[in-house]
Amino acid sequence: MIDSENTAVTGRSPCPVSCSLDLLGDKWTLLVVRDLLLGKKTYTEFLKSPEGIPTNLLAERLKRLQAAGIVDKSRYQERPVRHAYHLTEKGRDLRPVLLAMINWGNKYIPGTVTRAQIAAMAPHLVEGE
Amino acid sequence: MIDSENTAVTGRSPCPVSCSLDLLGDKWTLLVVRDLLLGKKTYTEFLKSPEGIPTNLLAERLKRLQAAGIVDKSRYQERPVRHAYHLTEKGRDLRPVLLAMINWGNKYIPGTVTRAQIAAMAPHLVEGE
DNA sequence: TTTAGTAGCTTGCAATATGCAAGTGACTAT
DNA sequence: ATAGTCACTTGCATATTGCAAGCTACTAAA
């Protein structure tokens, strides 16, 4: 495992929950990860998600996720220049966290889109496990 | 399942991840849940956790968690009056979210306390899946 | 060759949330 | 009477968020 972007404990405590929250603990970061797991790739695609992330926060979160080695960015075409964001292995490994939230949300927040409904639209997020 | 405290979707979107984050998406709430899963029960025990939650935020988070039906509060003794907080089933069902974060943190943030070390101190958080 | 449009941002600023310290009220123990 | 603990609340400075507007590079249409 390459360790370059895996910052060692610098946060509030050496608890893995606390350290994860130092990186991911806000209302937007994991929604960006969700969108990436759903196959969205570009800045404007993220902006179109129904929660409506403010554009400055999207830019800032993408930078932090890149700095943390969770996301990487590439040009996928020149003329006109277009960029694509992708999850690294470290980012894809957040899938169990999101799946646990989906299961919990479905069980306790009536009206949420179910895991089955998500599977129908976006099999790769939810299948297996 | 009693449904009284399970507020239906009122948030940013009907996505279960987004709805979960509306409730839990900050740097402190899931640390309180962690402490409860570790068996801590009182206000002052939560304050002693190494991350050092500010006392006003602890009070506010406990109220929100109670309002959401994730935590309940009881007097466990009179003379002097003492209070204990406990997770409800809804709260205990957040365990998979925390376990997923522990696994991810252990894999990607060097120096975090491992699941095995946690198991040695607090078997009930971590044992079984 | 102006004009309009899209992608991917940045900037400014008001509103909200957080962090810190100090204070409060009920109680007990000395 | 004094000190100490538990469980908070209050005030205020600082940090983060949310909203709107602007900006740069590019393309496509008139």
pLDDT at A5 over 80: no
Section A30-49 average pLDDT: 98
Whether residue A128 is predicted with pLDDT greater than 70 in this model: the reply is no
**Between chains, do A15 and B98 touch, taking CB under 8 Å as contact?**
no
**How distant is the Cα of A48 from the closest Cα of chain B, in angstroms?**
12
Tell me which DSSP letter residue A124 carries.
Answer: H
Mean of the pLDDT values across residues B81-91? 96
Q: Taking the C1' atom of D17, which residue's CA lies nearest?
A: A57
B129: DSSP letter: -
The pLDDT value recorded for residue B2 is 45
Does the domain at A12-88 match CATH 1.10.10.10? Answer given as yes
Q: What is the pLDDT confidence band of residue A127, given thresholds at 50, 70 and 90?
A: confident
Q: Is A113 on the interface with B (CB under 8 A)?
A: yes
A102 vs chain B: nearest CA distance in angstroms? 5
Cα A75 to chain centroid distance, Å, stands at 20
For residue B83, give the H/E element and its range. Answer: strand B82-87
The mean pLDDT value for B18-32 works out to 98
Architecture, CATH, for domain B16-126 = Orthogonal Bundle (1.10)
Which 3-state string (H, E, C) describes A28-80?
A: CHHHHHHHHHCCCCCHHHHHCCCCCCCHHHHHHHHHHHHHCCCEEEEEEECCC
Q: Please give the Cα distance from A25 to A23 (Å, whole number).
A: 6
Nearest nucleotide to B57 (CA to C1') is: C18
Q: Pick A25 or B6 by higher pLDDT.
A: A25
pLDDT at site B8: 80
Q: Classify the C-alpha dihedral A121-A127-B2-B4 as positive or negative.
A: negative
Average pLDDT over chain A reads 93
Task: Give the model's pLDDT for residue A24.
Answer: 98
The 10s digit of each residue's pLDDT in B97-116 is 999 999 999 999 999 999 99
CA of B54 to C1' of C22 (A): 13
3-state helix, strand, coil in chain B (%, to 5): 50, 10, 40
Whole-angstrom distance, CA of residue A31 vs CA of residue A28: 5
Give the span between the Cα atoms of A129 and A124, in whole angstroms.
11
* pLDDT score at A2: 45
* Range name among A112-116, B26-30, B117-121 with the lowest pLDDT average: B117-121
> Are the CB atoms for A90 and B108 separated by under 8 Å?
yes
pLDDT at site B4:
55
Query: At residue B96, does pLDDT exceed 70?
Result: yes
Q: Which of B28, B101, B125 to mutate to test the interface with A (most CBs of A within 10 A)?
A: B101
Q: Which 17-76 residues of chain A touch chain B by CB within 8 A?
A: 17-22, 25-27, 30-31, 34, 49-52
Question: Is the shortest CB-to-strand distance from B107 to strand C under 7 Å?
Answer: no
Q: How confident is the model at residue B7 (pLDDT cuts 50, 70, 90)?
A: confident
Distances (CA, A) of A128 to A6, A17, A86, A96, A124: 27, 24, 21, 11, 8
Name which of A9, A17, A32 to mutate to probe chain B: the one with the most chain B Cβ atoms within 10 A of its Cβ.
A17
pLDDT tens digit sequence for A87-105:
999 999 999 999 999 999 9
Give the Cα separation of A104 and A113 in Å (integer).
12
| Confidence (pLDDT) at A121 | 85
pLDDT of residue B63: 98
Of A78, A11, A91, residue with least CA distance to B104: A91
- What is the rounded distance in angstroms from the CA atom of residue A124 to the CA atom of residue B4? 34
The reply to whether residue A16 touches residue B100, judged by beta carbons under 8 angstroms, is no
**Domain locations along chain A:** 12-88, 94-129
Query: What is the gyration radius of the CA atoms in chain B, in angstroms?
Result: 15
Closest partner residue to B109 (CB to CB) among A7, A12, A31 is A7
Residue A79 has pLDDT above 90, yes or no: no
Question: Which ipTM score applies to this complex?
Answer: 0.94
pLDDT at residue number B1 = 53
CA distances from A30 to A23, B28, B85 (A): 10, 16, 28
Find the mean pLDDT for residues B89-96. Answer: 98
Residue B50 CA and nucleotide C13 C1' are separated, in Å, by 36
pLDDT for B36: 97
pLDDT single digits (tens) B36-74: 999 999 999 999 999 999 999 999 999 999 999 999 999
Å: B59 CA to D12 C1': 18
